[in-house]
Amino acid sequence: MNVSKYQRQMVSANQNNLLSLMKVLKKMDRPNSTENKNSKMKTWFKRVGVGGLIFFTVKGIVWLFVFYFGAEMFQECAGN
């Protein structure tokens, strides 16, 4: 069977196109990193729940007060 150079090039090009298409399809199957992050946040929130949200919010506010009044206390000590 005599295969011309043109026919071999066409087969090679078709194979390359098919491989490229397969790579694109594989990438489409994978979830995006942002979707993955959102999924992790949802899973964490479901695990911790509303009680955890309230706890961490109050904890953050308490630390803000500690830093604010602690800085004021050190300023008063340094001033005297």
pLDDT of residue 57: 94
Task: Name the residue among 9, 32, 12, 31 with its Cα closest to residue 20.
Answer: 12
pLDDT of residue 41: 79
Q: For residue 25, is pLDDT > 90?
A: no
* % of the chain surpassing 90 pLDDT: 18
Three-state secondary-structure class, residue 32: coil
pLDDT of residue 33: 59
Q: For residue 19, is pLDDT > 80?
A: no
Q: Report the sign of the C-alpha dihedral through residues 9, 14, 17, 22, in that order.
A: negative
Cβ(53)–Cβ(45) below 8 Å? yes
Q: What share of the chain is helix, strand, coil (3-state, %, to 5)?
A: 90, 0, 10
Q: Taking the model in full, what pTM does it have?
A: 0.40
pLDDT of residue 1: 53
